[in-house]
């Protein structure tokens, strides 16, 4: 039996493992080599994008478990870790609100995984844990704190997100990304105080994305004068 075969497309003499199996040919192998086969597939896909997408969707819908299994195996491979990370980053940038919501759902369904992950992270990063504790303690000690309520903040600032400027639907409950949250206009980490003068309403997701930056007008920075649109 021959150990090489000629590809009908690129005409190269190639080892048999370079050909896909086929039930349509006498030899049991496809006429074109894997490289040519793949190239043809790519060209077809580029010319029939919508059709291919619809067919992929149909297949995925009909074979949910199979697709999930393939996906799980692919993610588990170390060479695909970086690819997965980059893809997640791209998806997050494309629709942050949806990604936050998906994350929240996943967290709610996998509390053991989260605590296991946190436990591992803490034991692998003892220095960082120490630094975080110190920072939290310093903030608590250093920040001036005057109690305030949600009703007081809404009465003072209105029902608007101080970060994106859109209205906040108060019927939406935490931890929904569009739910109400208290936002420190001047972050505590930047010397802001924990009192109503430095608090504005914000969507939970806007607040999460803001991190340590300053948005909105602190009454302290404005000499105690409130100027809200
Ligand atoms: Zn070929
Ligand atoms: Zn917002």
User: Which of the four pLDDT bands, split at 50, 70 and 90, describes residue 113?
Assistant: confident
The pLDDT of residue 1 is 56
**Ligand nearest to the CA of residue 167, numbered in listed order:** 2
Q: What percent of the chain has pLDDT over 70?
A: 87
Counting Cα atoms < 13 Å in the Cβ hemisphere of 169 gives 6
pLDDT of residue 117 exceeding 90, the answer is no
Mean local confidence (pLDDT), 192-208? 88
Q: Give the separation between CA 98 and CA 105, rounded to whole angstroms.
A: 11
Mean local confidence (pLDDT), 67-79? 91
Mean local confidence (pLDDT), 171-193? 86
**Ligand nearest to the CA of residue 169, numbered in listed order:** 2
User: Which of the four pLDDT bands, split at 50, 70 and 90, describes residue 141?
Assistant: low
**Ligand 1: distance of its center to the CA of 138 in Å?**
67
Residue 140: how many other CB atoms lie within 10 Å: 11
Mean local confidence (pLDDT), 132-161? 81
User: Which of the four pLDDT bands, split at 50, 70 and 90, describes residue 224?
Assistant: very low
**Ligand 1: distance of its center to the CA of 6 in Å?**
8
Which of 58-72, 115-129, 139-153 is predicted most confidently? 58-72
**Ligand nearest to the CA of residue 168, numbered in listed order:** 2
pLDDT of residue 222 exceeding 60, the answer is no
Identify how many contiguous H helices and E strands the chain contains and give both numbers: 9, 4
The protein residues having their C-beta less than 5 angstroms from ligand 1 (an ion) are: 7, 9-10, 33, 36
**Ligand 1: distance of its center to the CA of 1 in Å?**
20
**Ligand 2: distance of its center to the CA of 96 in Å?**
12
pLDDT of residue 138 exceeding 80, the answer is no
The pLDDT of residue 56 is 92
Mean local confidence (pLDDT), 19-43? 91
The pLDDT of residue 69 is 93
Mean local confidence (pLDDT), 58-74? 93
**Ligand 2: distance of its center to the CA of 36 in Å?**
51
pLDDT of residue 70 exceeding 50, the answer is yes
**Ligand 2: distance of its center to the CA of 217 in Å?**
15
Residue 109: how many other CB atoms lie within 10 Å: 9
Q: What residue ranges in 96-184 does DSSP mark as E strands?
A: 180-184
pLDDT of residue 216 exceeding 80, the answer is no
Q: Give the separation between CA 67 and CA 60, rounded to whole angstroms.
A: 6
Mean local confidence (pLDDT), 188-208? 87
**Ligand 1: distance of its center to the CA of 51 in Å?**
26
pTM: 0.38
**Ligand 1: distance of its center to the CA of 144 in Å?**
73
Mean local confidence (pLDDT), 96-108? 85
């Amino acid at each position: 039996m021959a150990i090489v075969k000629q590809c009908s497309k690129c005409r190269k003499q190639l080892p048999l493992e370079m050909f896909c199996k086929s039930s349509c040919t006498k030899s049991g192998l496809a006429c074109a080599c894997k490289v040519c086969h793949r190239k043809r597939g790519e060209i077809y896909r580029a010319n029939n994008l919508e059709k291919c997408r619809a067919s992929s969707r149909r297949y995925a819908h009909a074979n949910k478990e199979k697709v999930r299994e393939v996906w799980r195996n692919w993610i588990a491979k170390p060479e695909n870790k970086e690819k997965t990370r980059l893809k997640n980053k791209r998806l997050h940038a494309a629709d942050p609100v949806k990604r936050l919501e998906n994350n929240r759902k996943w967290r709610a369904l996998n509390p053991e995984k989260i605590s296991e992950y946190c436990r591992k992270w803490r034991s692998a990063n003892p220095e960082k844990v120490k630094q975080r504790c110190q920072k939290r303690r310093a903030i608590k000690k250093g920040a001036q704190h005057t109690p305030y309520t949600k009703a007081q903040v809404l009465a003072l600032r209105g029902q608007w997100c101080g970060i994106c400027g859109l209205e906040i639907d108060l019927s939406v409950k935490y931890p929904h990304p569009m739910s109400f949250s208290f936002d420190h206009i001047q972050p505590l980490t930047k010397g802001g105080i924990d009192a109503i003068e430095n608090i504005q309403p914000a969507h939970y997701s806007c607040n999460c994305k803001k991190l340590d930056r300053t948005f909105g007008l602190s009454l302290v920075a404005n000499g105690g004068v409130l100027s809200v649109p």
